[in-house]
Amino acid sequence: MKKVVKLENLDCANCAAKMEDGISKIAGVEKATVSFLMQKMTIVAPEEQMEDILNQAEKIIHKLEPDVVLKL
């Protein structure tokens, strides 16, 4: 399953790269991309794991950029 999430208030390209790296390491994630220019995150993972993966991704994102809001 592919899930695209809008990221509001993402204002650091380096942080976006760190987010992508961290999210890619979550168990079950087949592919993860965080686009600073497009202000979005794309995750490819099994549908039954997606909710848990999104929760873990949100924690990683807020650790790096506390002001980012995920719009599912």
Domain segments of the chain as ranges:
2-71
> What pLDDT digit, counting tens, does each position of 26-43 carry?
999 999 999 999 999 999
Of 46, 62, 34, the residue nearest 1 (C-alpha): 46
pLDDT of amino acid 34: 98
Query: Is this model's pTM higher than 0.85 or not?
Result: yes
- CATH of segment(s) 2-71: 3.30.70.100
Q: Most distant CA pair in the chain: distance in Å?
A: 31
